[in-house]
């Protein structure tokens, strides 16, 4: 089956279709990770996007049922250079193509992904369409893409619909699910915490009524300004309970403190992004997936200090509040892209909980 990718700038790529039948529209982005395609596809932060994998051979170790970051992947489509027909790995339980068919995700193989990546780096992320109609009117589709308004309710679509608990004997942590990866919950549970996961639109009062020792703001898709109610929630939690924000949660903390966020040209998506911790001077290789960043020009007078920076472009990768026990990182400390050294951030969060309890802080 032939399939085309058509971009809003008029570029067309034709290759072999695989995965699910049907067409899809989405923001076309690229990820530079050499491995981790299963985690990428099931990361809720990719909701509505067509993901291009820059590593040329994909599917060689298959798919297993342990490495999903969410039960129902919300990525719109997948693009690869070459697909492995026969995966080989002792944990493999099905092929990548079988998983894509099962999850309803259309995909495209056999195109020049290097050229596509260079186009995105030149023009920024672009709207695109995967279509099996190779005789389609390209100019008509380009016009449709140029005027298309994609949905902005991604967080609502991927967040849990109801609260749930993972009991533990340690501190109570409320995790606000904006599109949480399973790995975040895993890291908190590993530290013995009593975990309560709540939906994206839970209010500060509802969270405080759960008597948390700390609140973790998860990752999630889209523009942080599309969830103003979440910004208000974080604003009303500041100073009342320790906060740790990851990815979208990091951006929401910044907005709640009065800073601003801006859209990046093509974002950070990969498993090998170097980050410097300014508090220790240490460098970490991190996993990242975000298209927005905190504007450094907006930090003046906002009681926020930069704790981490990206080595490649100098963008902000971490913040800490100067008055309250609240901090955040733009990257994913739970993702462990080989090294696991940035998992110390979860320990830092727990240390904040212990310090707050020892100080006898009362909830408002």
For 286-314, how does the pLDDT look when each residue is reduced to its tens digit (9 = 90+)? Answer: 999 999 999 999 999 999 999 999 999 99
Confirm if 247 and 219 have CB atoms less than 8 A apart: yes
Domain ranges of the chain: 2-150, 155-358
The single residue of 27, 39, 317, 334 carrying the catalytic annotation is 334
Confirm if 337 and 36 have CB atoms less than 8 A apart: yes
- pTM of the full predicted structure? 0.96
What local confidence, expressed as pLDDT, does residue 358 receive? Answer: 64
Annotated catalytic residue 268: no
Find, among 344, 353, 356, the residue nearest to 279 by Cα: 344
* Identical topology for domains 2-150 and 155-358: no
| DSSP letter assigned to residue 349 | H
Residues of the chain scoring pLDDT < 50: 363-364
What local confidence, expressed as pLDDT, does residue 359 receive? Answer: 63
What local confidence, expressed as pLDDT, does residue 363 receive? Answer: 43
Annotated catalytic residue 334: yes
The single residue of 200, 250, 268, 332 carrying the catalytic annotation is 332
| Residue found under tokens 């380009």 | 142
Confirm if 155 and 222 have CB atoms less than 8 A apart: yes
What local confidence, expressed as pLDDT, does residue 71 receive? Answer: 92
Domain 2-150, what fold? Glucose Oxidase; domain 1 (3.50.30)
The single residue of 47, 193, 247, 257 carrying the catalytic annotation is 247
Annotated catalytic residue 332: yes
Find, among 69, 24, 85, 16, the residue nearest to 51 by Cα: 24
How far apart are the C-alpha atoms of 237 and 224, rounded to whole Å? Answer: 17
CATH number of 155-358: 3.40.50.880
């Amino acid at each position: 089956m032939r399939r085309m990718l058509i971009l809003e700038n008029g570029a067309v790529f034709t290759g072999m279709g695989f995965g699910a039948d049907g067409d899809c529209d989405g923001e076309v982005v690229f990820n530079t990770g050499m491995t981790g395609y299963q985690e990428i596809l099931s990361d809720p932060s990719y909701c509505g996007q067509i993901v291009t994998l820059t590593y040329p051979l994909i599917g060689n170790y298959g798919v297993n049922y342990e490495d999903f970051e969410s039960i129902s992947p919300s990525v719109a489509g997948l693009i690869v250079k070459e697909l492995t027909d026969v995966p080989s790995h002792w944990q493999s339980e099905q092929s990548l193509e079988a998983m894509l068919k099962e999850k309803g995700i259309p995909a495209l193989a056999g195109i020049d992904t290097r050229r596509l990546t260079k186009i995105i780096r030149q023009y920024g992320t672009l709207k695109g369409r995967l279509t099996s109609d190779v005789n389609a009117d390209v100019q008509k589709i380009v016009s449709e893409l140029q005027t298309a308004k994609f949905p902005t309710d991604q967080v609502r679509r991927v967040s849990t619909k109801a609260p749930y608990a993972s009991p533990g004997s340690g501190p109570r942590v409320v995790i606000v699910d904006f599109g949480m990866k399973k790995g975040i919950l895993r890291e908190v549970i590993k530290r013995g915490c009593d975990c309560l996961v709540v939906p994206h639109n839970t209010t500060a009062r509802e969270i405080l009524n759960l008597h948390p020792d700390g609140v973790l703001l998860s990752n999630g898709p889209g523009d942080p300004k599309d969830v103003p109610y979440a910004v208000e929630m974080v604003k009303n939690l500041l100073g009342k309970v320790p906060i740790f924000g990851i990815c979208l949660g990091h951006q929401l903390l910044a907005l709640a403190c009065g800073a601003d966020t801006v859209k990046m040209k093509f974002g950070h998506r990969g498993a090998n992004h170097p980050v410097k911790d300014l508090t220790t001077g240490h460098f970490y290789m991190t996993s990242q997936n975000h298209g927005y960043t905190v504007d450094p020009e907006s930090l003046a007078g906002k009681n926020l200090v930069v704790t981490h920076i990206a080595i490649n472009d100098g963008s902000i990768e971490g913040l800490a509040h100067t008055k309250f026990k609240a901090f955040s990182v733009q990257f994913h400390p739970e993702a462990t892209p080989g090294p696991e050294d940035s998992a110390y951030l979860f320990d830092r969060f727990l240390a904040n909980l212990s310090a707050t309890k020892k100080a006898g802080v009362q909830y408002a």
